[in-house]
């Protein structure tokens, strides 16, 4: 659906060229919610603006739905841009227009007939839950309500792709969750491909299917959210993972020498099974849970635990084998070991 091949972007700052994006390769499947996460200055906003060519790449190619946007003339590019909606961090609403009129604005620019515009605006107001506030001006709306208007406006021309540039960064946690639920619902009902730019782990783990970690203009990790964040390989990814909390050996008291300390990761159905009690029943080894939790990334359950095995050495090795057979990733650690899974 969206392909970036060798996309680089340079800006001239203080008379010299500064590379903000460096050889980005991405393949975003149709219908997915794709997260791009990175710290401030990593190049996230530049990357998302290269997807719709609001920023033209210095080099490389951007293909959306089979069309190479980087080779289109201005008129054809404008036509293709109408198929790419964009939601902004600070809403960018017109203060002199009501909620309904803000949503209608891109349809006016696109030349839609008045009655067709009216029907589309009504449909979108109901979709985002703002029908009763249709005649309110932005100054009378809360931050979450303004973002709902922004989402409806982006959806108005019936785009195939929705780009969200830090769409929840200006919102409180409760409002953020409601906006994320709305985006996930839109993705399910419309099959819309979404690219979500963020620096917040919660946003990615709540709604995204895949994620790319951006650092200093380069992608340092990419894949399924559960794979990238539960077993991170790059230090930047590990740093983001620490935001999630979970099992960490740093604050554990000393473990007796005859106990074996393990870090266990379960993904999918295995996270919901009573695996530790099954191990005890089958081996006689007591599994002492020192730390852990079960949570979800989008719809996928996962559990992260630190446990101590108490029992004969041979039985403990059998217990580890059973854990692995039941779907756990297992790693032996020391009580002062690293806090990240992986």
What per-residue confidence (pLDDT) applies to 249? 53
HSE (side-chain half, CA atoms, 13 Å) at 330: 22
The CATH class of the 2-243 domain is alpha beta
The superfamily in CATH containing domain 259-332 is ACT domain (3.30.70.260)
The domain limits of the chain are 2-243, 259-332
What is the distance between the alpha carbons of residues 258 and 240, in angstroms, rounded to a whole number?
34
What pTM, to 2 d.p., does this model score?
0.85
**Which of 248, 46, 17 shows the shortest CA–CA distance to 163?**
46
Report the chain's mean pLDDT, rounded to a whole number.
91
Per residue in 217-233, pLDDT (tens digit) is 999 999 999 999 888 99
Work out the pLDDT band at 245, boundaries 50, 70, 90. low
HSE (side-chain half, CA atoms, 13 Å) at 38: 25
Residue 70 tokens read as: 């980087």
Over residues 150-162, the mean pLDDT reads 96
Per residue in 248-272, pLDDT (tens digit) is 555 566 678 788 999 999 999 889 9
**How many CB atoms within 10 Å of residue 193?**
23
Please determine, for residue 116, whether its predicted confidence score (pLDDT) is greater than 60.
Answer: yes
What per-residue confidence (pLDDT) applies to 242? 79
Enumerate the β-bridge partners of residue 18. 11
């Amino acid at each position: 659906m969206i392909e970036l091949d060798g996309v680089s972007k340079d800006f001239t700052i203080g008379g010299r060229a500064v590379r903000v994006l460096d050889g980005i390769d991405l393949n975003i499947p149709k219908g997915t919610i794709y997260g791009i996460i990175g710290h401030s200055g990593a190049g996230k906003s530049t990357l998302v603006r290269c997807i719709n060519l609001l920023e033209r790449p210095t080099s490389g190619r951007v293909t959306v739905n089979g069309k190479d946007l980087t080779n289109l003339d201005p008129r054809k590019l404008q036509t293709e841009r109408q198929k790419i909606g964009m939601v902004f961090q600070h809403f960018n609403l017109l203060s002199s227009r009501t909620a309904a009129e803000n949503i209608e604005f891109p349809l006016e620019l696109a030349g839609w007939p008045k009655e067709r515009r009216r029907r589309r605006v009504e449909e979108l107001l109901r979709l985002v839950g703002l029908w009763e506030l249709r005649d309110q001006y932005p100054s009378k709306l809360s931050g979450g309500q303004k973002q709902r208007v922004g989402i409806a406006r982006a959806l108005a021309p019936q785009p195939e792709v929705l780009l969200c540039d830090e769409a929840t960064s200006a919102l409180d946690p409760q409002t953020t969750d409601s906006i994320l639920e709305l985006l996930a619902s839109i993705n399910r009902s419309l099959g819309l491909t979404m690219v979500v730019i963020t620096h917040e782990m919660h946003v990615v783990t709540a709604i995204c299917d895949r994620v790319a970690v951006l650092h200093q203009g380069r992608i340092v990790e990419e894949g399924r959210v559960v794979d990238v964040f539960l077993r991170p390989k790059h230090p930047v990814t590990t740093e983001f993972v620490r935001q999630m909390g979970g099992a960490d050996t740093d604050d554990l008291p000393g473990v007796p020498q005859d106990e074996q300390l393990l870090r266990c990761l379960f993904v999918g159905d295995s996270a919901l099974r009573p695996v530790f009690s099954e191990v005890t029943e089958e081996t006689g080894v007591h599994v002492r849970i020192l730390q852990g939790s079960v949570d979800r990334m989008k719809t996928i359950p996962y559990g992260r635990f630190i446990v101590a095995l108490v029992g004969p050495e041979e039985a403990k090795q059998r217990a580890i084998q059973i854990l692995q057979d039941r779907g756990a990733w297992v790693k032996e650690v020391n009580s002062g070991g690293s806090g990240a899974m992986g």
